[in-house]
Structure 1
Amino acid sequence: MILSDRDIKILLKSGELVIDPLSDDTIRENGVDLKLGREYCAFKKTNTILDPNKPGNANEFYECDSSDSFVVESHRHYLLHTLEYIKLPSYLAGLVNLRSTWARTGIYIPSTVTDAGFEGQLTIEVIGSEFPVKLYAGDRFLHLILVKMETPSEKPYEGNYKGQTGVRLPKFFNNK
């Protein structure tokens, strides 16, 4: 079952669902809009092979920075993060989508699921359009659809990305 704005407000009020900061324009008809944070990492073009068993230095593969705005270059991949820190209970999962305004610019994000029990800022991959697009920290960028599972998860998320803030690189780099 997809949660409505009423359901979301009830869960927020009870403390079972946490979204911080929570803005007036965050809760939508059937989900929650999330804003861009300030950090980003651009994937570097390289012939170096990324071996997850011996990943080497993350700087060989990613160029990371923070700013109030930046340009998503054509066909380039980035990791971005949400401004909001979220905490899902063991019976809610989230489906992350790009807000339609941004999809209409040609920016793309792969399918992303937020697991039941996840807590932290979301790190999301963004792929550039046919033309450069400027993004600003604080803009509503993602739409998180909250889905109530029929029964709570036996093993809510406890992985390496729990509690993450900012952009989080793959776990084999042992960052943050």
Structure 2
Amino acid sequence: MILTGPEIISASKDGRLRIDPFSSSQVNPNSYNVRLGSTLLTYTGDVLDSHRPNPTHRIQVGEDGHTLQPGELYLGHTMEEVGSDRFVPLLFGRSSVGRLGLFVEITAPIGDIGFHGQWTLMLTPTRP
């Protein structure tokens, strides 16, 4: 079941859904718009190895933003902490962001019941 905007508001008020910070201005008819947090990571090695830690470079995103470079994989996080012990969370990029050539979280859009925290976002730009 996908929650409607009013159900999202109700569930956040009664504790079935936690979104912190919560703003009713970010509620849509059947979704909530999370925002990008203030830090990004990029990988610095030539090869990514799933069997060991990969070196990264940390980018602090300022008030003026940061220009993403095509061909680079960025790891970000949501500003909001989101969680529920009752609902399965889904995360999809907004079409308005996709039309700008930015792919968001395309491999793992389903969260786990019981997870409470910031979502890791995989960002892949096709244009600066």
Query: Does the alignment reach a TM-score above 0.5?
Result: yes
Equivalent in the alignment of 1:74: 70
State the percentage of identical aligned residues.
25
Would you tell me which structure has more strand in proportion to its own residues? 1
TM-score of the aligned structures, taking structure 1 as reference length: 0.65
Q: Secondary structure at the match of 1:19?
A: strand
TM-score of the aligned structures, taking structure 2 as reference length: 0.87
**Partner letter of residue 95 of structure 1?**
L
**Do the aligned partners of residues 51 and 24 (structure 1) sit closer, same or farther apart at CA in structure 2, a change above 3 Å counting?**
closer
- Higher relative contact order, structure no. (Cα contacts within 8 Å, ≥ 6 residues apart): 1
1:101-140 equivalences in 2 (<5 Å): 101-109=96-104, 110-111=106-107, 112-129=109-126, 131-132=127-128
1:25-174 equivalences in 2 (<5 Å): 25-47=25-47, 50-52=49-51, 55-56=52-53, 58-59=54-55, 62-68=56-62, 69-89=65-85, 91-109=86-104, 110-111=106-107, 112-129=109-126, 131-132=127-128
Q: Is the 8 A contact 2:9 2:24 kept in 1?
A: no
Separation of aligned partners in 2, 1:37 and 1:104: 21
**What is the RMSD computed on CA atoms of the aligned residues?**
1.6
Q: Secondary structure at the match of 1:97?
A: coil
Aligned length: 124
Give 1:45 shift. Answer: 4.9
* Structure 2 alignment gaps of length 5 or more: none
Q: Secondary structure at the match of 1:94?
A: coil
Separation of aligned partners in 2, 1:100 and 1:107: 10
* Structure 1 alignment gaps of length 5 or more: 133-176
